[in-house]
A = this chain, B = another copy of it.
Amino acid sequence: MKSFIEVSAESHFPIQNLPYGVFNTKENGQPSVGVAIGDYVVDLAILEAKGFFKHCLNTNISVFQQSVLNPFMELGHKAWHGVRQTLQTLLSADEPTLRDDAELRGQVLIPRDEVKLHLPIKIGDYTDFYASKEHATNIGVMFRGKENALMPNWTHLPVGYHGRASSVVLSGKKVRRPLGQLKAPEKPPVFAPCRQLDFELEVGCFIGTGNKLGEPIPVDDAEKHVFGMVLVNDWSARDIQSWEYQPLGPFLAKNFSTSISPWVVPMEALEPFRVNGPTQDPKPLAYLDQKGPGSFDIQLEVHLRSQRMNQPKRISASNYRYLYWSIAQQIAHHTIGGCDLHTGDLLASGTISGSEKSSRGSLMELTWRGAEPIALNDEEQRQWLEDGDELIMTGWCQGNGYRIGFGEVSGVIEPALEIEQALGTKSKATVI
């Protein structure tokens, strides 16, 4: 498959990908839905208005003249497939309709560096899983010691917990270092800026169509409910976490910001990269027993750039296929008790670590809780993230001469609020 739009072999956005996003231009403040191809965005609202999707979208409203993808997602996987096929035909090298119509091209193709991107989806609920055995083991050893590292439930069910949907933000949004309670051994807790600020390398999937309360989604039907995937950085405050997390799990340690990449990669684009995940032993219970391979070969990288560096340095290289529990298993488990998923719900994988040290998906693991700092250059090293650091994650599937890429999710650390400002004592004094 080849497009009349030139796309380099390293580009994340060839015609085989066509990820969805929401954008507006300087000239047009009204957001609309687009797909990325090469250095361009294709404006789907214009194509829709011109009737290009009439045969595959059975709806009276415009689903692309929208500030979020949700109305399109609600239409279900047949509609997603229809639009994708239409676009691949329209953008292909052999098809003259758009290729030879300069006026239409001028309206529909917008240089990607001229658009402003938005959070593409209105997120209902956000769930974070813990699906990497290597990550769960590493964190367990550090928080609870070797004997209690991997809890006995871990190999029987995809452990997960409810995250905070309101603080999911778009890549590029600065991340303020949180204030919170920190506790040193044998001392009372103090109120201070987080000292152990970390990232977590994750991939998330968005629910396209959900289920009714009380009606579980069978594991082999689950993938039909998934619209697409993004990169997720689940920023974490390790010192706040270790003090607060027992017995009800992480709370403030994770809810100050969660960043996602702006382009939602459709599941169909990932299909050629489907692989088996790790062998599961013990065999999962019936409701988790997925037929066929449920994982994807997605290369993942983490890069860090301090304020003094011109170029970021790669500090981790991992792969989505290392995850023990698949998306289908996560969805089957999530709904087996009756919980209802809805259009726009985000299910993140949990940190994706491999068995090699270089494939660990968090600073906590890479530096072993700060004990083994990593060198950024001759002068700088890191135990934890420092103010001004930029953290960039990227990921792609390597095809034959092309890549199905996720683009990037990035964020720069801002200093914590001054304590007086957080307490409201400063601003009040100013107001009086």
Contacts and interface: CB of A to CB of B under 8 A. Distances in A.
Nearest to A163: B162
A189 interface: yes
Contacts of A422: 216, 218, 287, 336
Interface stretch (A83-91, A97-105, A152-160, A302-310): A152-160
Interface string A139-157: 0100110000001010011
A367 B194 CA distance: 42
**Which of A180, A248, A255, A287 is packed against the most chain B CB atoms within 10 Å?**
A248
A410 interface: no
B248 A250 contact: yes
Interface stretch (A36-44, A165-173, A263-271): A165-173
A282 B337 contact: no
B161 A161 contact: yes
Interface stretch (A293-301, A339-347, A372-380, A390-398): A339-347
A73 interface: no
Interface in A245-304: 245-253, 255-257, 282, 285-287
B424 A125 contact: no
Contacts of A189: 153, 156-157, 285
Interface in A115-142: 124-125, 130, 140
A225 interface: no
Given A179-B216, A247-B249, A249-B249, 10 more contacts: A153-B189, A159-B244, A159-B247, A160-B251, A191-B285, A213-B257, A214-B256, A218-B425, A252-B334, A255-B339
Closest 4 CB pairs of A and B: A249-B249, A218-B424, A178-B337, A161-B248
